[in-house]
Amino acid sequence: AKPWTVPMLADAKREGRKLVMLTAYDAGFARVMDDNGVDLILVGDSLGMVVQGHGSTLPVSVDDIAYHVSCVSRGLQRALLIADLPFGADATPERALDASLKFLQAGAAMVKLEGAAHKLDVIRFLVDREIPVCAHLGLTPQSVLRLGGYKVQGREDKAAKQICEDALAVAKAGATLLVLECVPSSLAAAITVASPIPTIGIGAGAACDGQVLVLHDLLGVNTGHRRPKFVKDFLAQGGSIAGAIKAFGDDVRSGAFPDAAHAYE
Ligand code: KIV
Ligand code: NA
C-alpha cells in the first residue's frame, strides 16, 4: 500500500474507508503497527501516563515528545505520524510553531492540539505556515485541573451544542483531522455527518470516520489508572502483539469495534 499523505485522509472520509490509528512511543512497536495495517500513528502526550508514570499528561515537555517522535519515525514506512503538542506548548501561536517545527523535523507530518476557543488562532497560524493540524475535542485530558477528572463530555444539550460548534470551527480554521474523546455516540455521529474533516473517535462510538486507542490499553497493560469503559484488550482476541494490532484494525474497518459495551450513551 502507498504511504499515507495528508490529502488522502479526506479521500478516505469521502469514500467511507475507516481510519485506523494507534499511539506509539518507540520504533519497535511503530514498525509492528506499520506492518499490520495501522494508518495513523500518534505520539500522544499519554506518554506522560503510560510511559513516564505520571498521574496526568501535564508534565510532558516538548523535548519529550520530540524524542519519541524521532524514535517512532524510524519505524515507519507507510503510516502518517502525528505528534501531540503537550500542555502549554500551544498556549500561543509562536510557541506552538516552535514546538511543531521540532516535531516535523523529527519526522511528524501533523501536530495535534486540544480545544477550540483561543486555539482556533493557533490552528490558523500553524496551517498558514504549512503545518497540518489535528484538533481534539470532547474530553481533553490537558483540561483535567478545570474538569476535576476524566469524565464523559457533552451529555447536556448546551455542552453538546458547544462541541458541535467547536468541531465546525476547528475545521474552518484549517484542521484536517478531528479526534473526539469520550462523548456520547449520538453526538459523535452527528458531528461526523456535519464535519467536512474526518473524525477519529476514542470512547465516541462506531460512527466516527476512524478510531484510536492508546497502545497500552489495546494490550491490556495496566498503568495503575482505572480502565475506561471504551478500552478493549485486543491481546486476548489477537493472541500476539501483531495479532492484537491487526484485530483492532480489522474490527475498526468492519465496524465491530467499538460496540455499545465500549461506548457511551
Ligand atoms: O495522548 C494521546 O494518546 C491521545 C489519544 C488518546 C487521542 O491524545
Ligand atoms: Na493526547
- pLDDT by residue (tens digit) across 128-170? 999 999 999 999 999 999 999 999 999 999 999 999 999 999 9
**Which ligand 1 atom minimizes the distance to the CA of 200?**
7
Kindly report the average pLDDT of the chain as a whole number.
Answer: 97
Q: Which among 52, 112, 178 is the best mutation to test ligand 1's pocket, defined by most ligand atoms within 8 Å of the CB?
A: 112
Under CATH, which number does the domain 6-262 receive?
A: 3.20.20.60
Buried b (16+ CB within 10 A) or exposed e, 51-74: beeeebbeebebebbbbbbbbbbe
Could you tell me if 90 and 133 are in contact, meaning their C-beta atoms sit under 8 angstroms apart?
Answer: no
Distance CA 152, CA 166 (A): 17
Could you tell me if 79 and 106 are in contact, meaning their C-beta atoms sit under 8 angstroms apart?
Answer: no
Could you tell me if 193 and 151 are in contact, meaning their C-beta atoms sit under 8 angstroms apart?
Answer: no
Q: pLDDT above 90 covers what percent of the chain?
A: 97
Look-up: residue for cell 476557543? 117
H or E element in which residue 120 lies: helix 119-128
Q: Is 112 annotated as a binding residue?
A: yes
Distance set, CA 47 to CA 140, 186, 191, 255, 265 (Å): 15, 29, 28, 28, 28
Buried b (16+ CB within 10 A) or exposed e, 161-190: ebbbebbbbbbebbbbbbbbbbbbbebbbb
Q: What is the pLDDT of residues 100-109, one digit of tens each?
A: 999 999 999 9
Whole-complex ipTM: 0.99
pLDDT at 58 over 90: yes
pLDDT, mean of residues 218-223? 90
Ligand 1 mean position to 144 CA, how many Å? 14
**pTM of the entire predicted model:** 0.98
pLDDT at 1 over 90: no
Which residue spans within the chain are E strands per DSSP? 19-23, 40-43, 80-84, 110-114, 133-138, 177-181, 199-202, 210-213
pLDDT at 204 over 90: yes
pLDDT at 226 over 90: no
pLDDT at 89 over 90: yes
